[in-house]
Amino acid sequence: MSITVYRKSHFNAAHRLYRKDWDDTKNQSVFGKCNNPNFHGHNYELEVGITGEINPETGFLIDIEKLKKIIKEEVEDYLDHKNLNIDIPEFKNLNPTMENISVLIWNKLRNRLEEYYQISVKLYETPRNFVVYTG
């Protein structure tokens, strides 16, 4: 038997999608509005799912207060109100797409959670566009 606990979170961040090694025409044709040189923001919505077994002693899969604290420290404190291209070292040479942001979040959570938990990260860049990464 396995069970999944979810915690929602939220952050605002700015980004620009482009490649330095491509010219303006190519960047515009591949990335469109997301290539705006002056950046633009998104209200990112995050759903973190933790899967495992219920601890029979506590009745918990995971202490949700502990999960809340880890998400705050690893995701909100790190990404909220940041310019992802400029402020976040991982995106210095990597496009901060919702795909790459979800992988970054998953890796940061993986470092903080016991190995017996499975982790899924669902990241909404807009209400209709989202990605799920499970490692």
| Active site (annotated) includes residue 15 | no
CB of 34 to Ni ion, least distance (A): 4
What residues are paired with 135 via a beta bridge?
A: none
* Residues 72/21, Cβ–Cβ less than 8 Å: no
Q: Which is nearer to Ni ion, 52 or 96 (CB)?
A: 96
61 lines the binding site for Ni ion (CB under 5 A): no
Token pair listed for 84:
């992802």
| Active site (annotated) includes residue 81 | yes
Q: Which is nearer to Ni ion, 39 or 118 (CB)?
A: 39
Q: Which is nearer to Ni ion, 34 or 105 (CB)?
A: 34
* Residues 85/36, Cβ–Cβ less than 8 Å: no
Token pair listed for 29:
């044709």
Catalytic residue among 15, 42, 74, 125: 125
CB of 127 to Ni ion, least distance (A): 14
Interaction residues for Ni ion, span 22-41 (CB under 5 A): 34
* Residues 42/16, Cβ–Cβ less than 8 Å: no
Token pair listed for 15:
């980004």
CB of 12 to Ni ion, least distance (A): 12
- How close are the terminal C-alpha atoms of the chain, in Å? 21
| Active site (annotated) includes residue 125 | yes
Q: Which residues bind Ni ion (CB under 5 A)?
A: 34
